[in-house]
A = this chain, B = another copy of it.
């Protein structure tokens, strides 16, 4: 993409209503804009990051043999009454009455809908196990939307559901999913911890939350600075608790929940009568697990953990572009031409590259490049090019190396080859 034709509206000033650093940088870097409180429009750069994250999620879900479906946002309220969650979930669920007088809701989650689907399609143990997932927009009427996309009213989730004939099967799927979550968050460049958690309104026997340690975030967790591993959701009476591994006093920190997995057992299959016939011909409720990831939250959490005073620092695998070329001497024709040549070459090799060809001062281009956070900057200036050189700047470290222009392409390939494998 050429920046002169791209819709990347960066901002010099931070909008006053952004509280946390990820929200401020998302607005300034032109990733999104607020529509109303808790509701956002994703601009091209922001949507590219969402796409990278969902690609990583799909790859891992598919590798488990999990199959993608798409469930509807519109759901009959009756289904929630049947499962017993209608009263429990309360005002956070958006309601309306349709023109046929039927009470409908907008799905804040999909346990009821998927259980009802599977109930009609699965009737024998021979059809189990099965894992279905979707990547879909969910709706919540949040009492207090805040922190940008961290607590919003319309957001993208990956939700997966496993269906098994016995507890052994559930345990296996839960463990496979747990491992896949580790791979997903690692590929997204996140430092995270998995903590045993309260199942809350979802129900079931056991759940784990995947938490990103960050200065922003709504959850407090206990974790061990020493060994990193021991952690749990904080409860009032746990202040001062010691690490069971190394006996150091546990620290508390605001954390962002990016994933939550649950052993649901028969909570939904029993209440909605989703049964199967086992080997003996007996009708039994299907054993379920459910597995959620907040896609938009990953984007925010990555920024919380990967930024400096100048802007975002995207990990290579989820960056909207891997390389940005800065043609900083618009008046020096050979520099303009060389930048265009390098852009074409990289583009043809399927490298995601952004060429800053705008009619702007070098200072503006440097500032914007640091702000939007593409990991590799190729700087083509008049003076260095006259010496036959170009500069490569690594966004994360700020390190700048000079390479001969004939060797630039090889050097970029070499860096990407190393960095694009996680």
User: Which residues of A pack against B, CB within 8 Å?
Assistant: 5-7, 9, 33, 35-37, 39-44, 46-47, 50, 65, 67-76, 91, 94-96, 98-100, 102, 104, 106, 113, 117, 120-121, 130, 132, 137, 139, 141, 143, 153-154
Contact A71 B7 (CB under 8 A): no
A417 to chain B, nearest CB (A): 21
| A47 to B61 CA separation, bound complex (whole angstroms) | 15
Contact B74 A36 (CB under 8 A): yes
| A37 to B100 CA separation, bound complex (whole angstroms) | 10
Give the residue name and chain of the B residue nearest to A42 (CB).
B70
| A35 to B78 CA separation, bound complex (whole angstroms) | 12
A110 to chain B, nearest CB (A): 10
29 contacts between A and B (CB under 8 A): A5-B65, A7-B69, A33-B117, A33-B120, A35-B71, A35-B74, A35-B113, A36-B75, A36-B102, A36-B104, A39-B72, A41-B69, A41-B71, A41-B117, A42-B69, A42-B70, A43-B69, A46-B70, A47-B69, A47-B70, A72-B154, A73-B73, A73-B139, A74-B139, A74-B154, A91-B99, A98-B153, A106-B106, A137-B137
A276 to chain B, nearest CB (A): 14
| A113 to B42 CA separation, bound complex (whole angstroms) | 12
Contact B69 A154 (CB under 8 A): no
Query: What are the residues of chain B within 8 A of A68 when measuring CB–CB?
Result: 44, 47
Contact A73 B7 (CB under 8 A): no
Contact A7 B132 (CB under 8 A): yes
Contact A113 B41 (CB under 8 A): yes
Query: What are the residues of chain B within 8 A of A74 when measuring CB–CB?
Result: 35-36, 39, 139, 153-154
Contact A50 B70 (CB under 8 A): yes
Contact B41 A72 (CB under 8 A): yes
| A47 to B66 CA separation, bound complex (whole angstroms) | 14
Given known A7-B132, A99-B91, contact A44–B73 (CB-CB < 8 A) = no
Contact B73 A154 (CB under 8 A): yes
Identify the interface centre among A33, A42, A67: most chain B CB within 10 Å of its CB: A67
List 3 tightest A-B contacts by C-beta distance, closest first. A42-B70, A44-B67, A96-B96
Contact B33 A67 (CB under 8 A): no
Query: What are the residues of chain B within 8 A of A137 when measuring CB–CB?
Result: 73, 137
Give the residue name and chain of the B residue nearest to A139 (CB).
B74
Identify the interface centre among A68, A69, A74, A130: most chain B CB within 10 Å of its CB: A74
Query: What are the residues of chain B within 8 A of A143 when measuring CB–CB?
Result: 99
| A392 to B139 CA separation, bound complex (whole angstroms) | 48
Give the residue name and chain of the B residue nearest to A120 (CB).
B33
A46 to chain B, nearest CB (A): 8
Given known A67-B44, A99-B91, A143-B99, contact A121–B72 (CB-CB < 8 A) = no
Query: What are the residues of chain B within 8 A of A69 when measuring CB–CB?
Result: 7, 41-44, 47
| A46 to B117 CA separation, bound complex (whole angstroms) | 15
Given known A41-B70, A50-B70, A141-B98, contact A76–B7 (CB-CB < 8 A) = no
A53 to chain B, nearest CB (A): 13
Given known A70-B47, A72-B154, A76-B36, contact A99–B141 (CB-CB < 8 A) = yes
